[in-house]
Amino acid sequence: MTGAPIKVLVIDDEPPIRKLLRMGLTTQGYDILEASNGKLALDLLAQEPALIILDLGLPDIDGLELLRTIRGRNEAVPVVVLSSRGDEVGKVQALDLGADDYITKPFGMDELLARLRAALRHQLQVQGERPVFRTGDLSVDLVRRIVKVGEREIKLSPKEYDLLRVLVQHAGKVLTHRFLLKELWDELTDAQYLRVYVRQLRQKIEIDPERPQFVLTETGIGYRLRAPD
């Protein structure tokens, strides 16, 4: 990592977890702020962290409520939830409230670092609004509405393209079924419609639709497009 260190706010009430994150992240060049509770975390927001790692099981403020408050103060800062809660309901709630990703404890440091990089790339992409998105062999020209895998142009139906466009705009972020349904249809409808279009899109852009490399499934939660390279 080059340039000024990226400031990361770690919100977790477990000292061993904070120590692990501090050691793992500082070796990668991150600058760490630590909060053991929600009140301190809100105070540290004034230091404008570029990224937040949030545990939901805090002693003073419910983690989801804290996430809601953070989003009310800063809509753009990437938030990666790191929690021992593995239930799908909790994950969906966190993502619907604006979390960029959700990782369940215990976790691997390499995976966490990769998710953090993806969250930061997503933020830069949103800020830059790059007209051509690329990840691996997939390219999407959002101005000319041209989709290619390698040199091969892919013909998509209007709804398939709309689905891909939303995924591109939030590449690297987990999008819940509910979010995608609201974006793609005027009214909430059966999630089966979404599954059908995801399957059709994979048939056209994936080398092996049964083992997708681009449109990834977050089981029981939603989908995530691979972050840009």
Q: Are 221 and 91 in contact (CB under 8 A)?
A: yes
| CATH code of 146's domain | 1.10.10.10
| Whether residues 56 and 115 fall in one domain | yes
Tens of pLDDT along 179-194?
999 888 866 677 888 9
- The whole domain housing 176 covers 131-225
| Whether residues 62 and 169 fall in one domain | no
Share of the chain above pLDDT 90, in %: 60
Cα separation, 115 vs 132, in Å, equals 22
Phi and psi angles of residue 224, each rounded to the nearest 5 degrees, phi first: -140, 130
Give this prediction's pTM.
Answer: 0.68
State the alpha helices, DSSP H only, in the chain. 15-26, 38-44, 63-73, 88-96, 109-128, 158-169, 177-184, 191-205
Q: Is the residue at 30 inside a domain?
A: yes
Q: Is the residue at 2 inside a domain?
A: no
In sequence order, the β-bridge partners of residue 206 are: none
Of 105, 127, 149, the last residue of a domain is 127
Q: Taking residues 110-128, what's their average pLDDT?
A: 78
| Whether residues 148 and 105 fall in one domain | no
Q: Taking residues 33-56, what's their average pLDDT?
A: 94
Q: Is the residue at 148 inside a domain?
A: yes
| Whether residues 46 and 145 fall in one domain | no
Domain count, the chain: 2
| Whether residues 136 and 121 fall in one domain | no
* CB-side neighbour CA atoms (13 Å) of 179: 20
Cα separation, 60 vs 152, in Å, equals 54
Q: Based on the number of CB atoms within 10 Å of its own CB, is 229 exposed (0-12), middle (13-18) or buried (19 or more)?
A: exposed
Whether the pLDDT of residue 207 is over 50: the answer is yes
| Whether residues 153 and 112 fall in one domain | no
| Whether residues 37 and 136 fall in one domain | no
| Whether residues 190 and 144 fall in one domain | yes
Q: Is the residue at 1 inside a domain?
A: no
| CATH code of 41's domain | 3.40.50.2300
Cα separation, 195 vs 148, in Å, equals 22
| Whether residues 137 and 123 fall in one domain | no
Tens of pLDDT along 122-179?
776 665 556 688 999 999 987 678 899 999 999 999 889 999 999 998 999 999 998 9
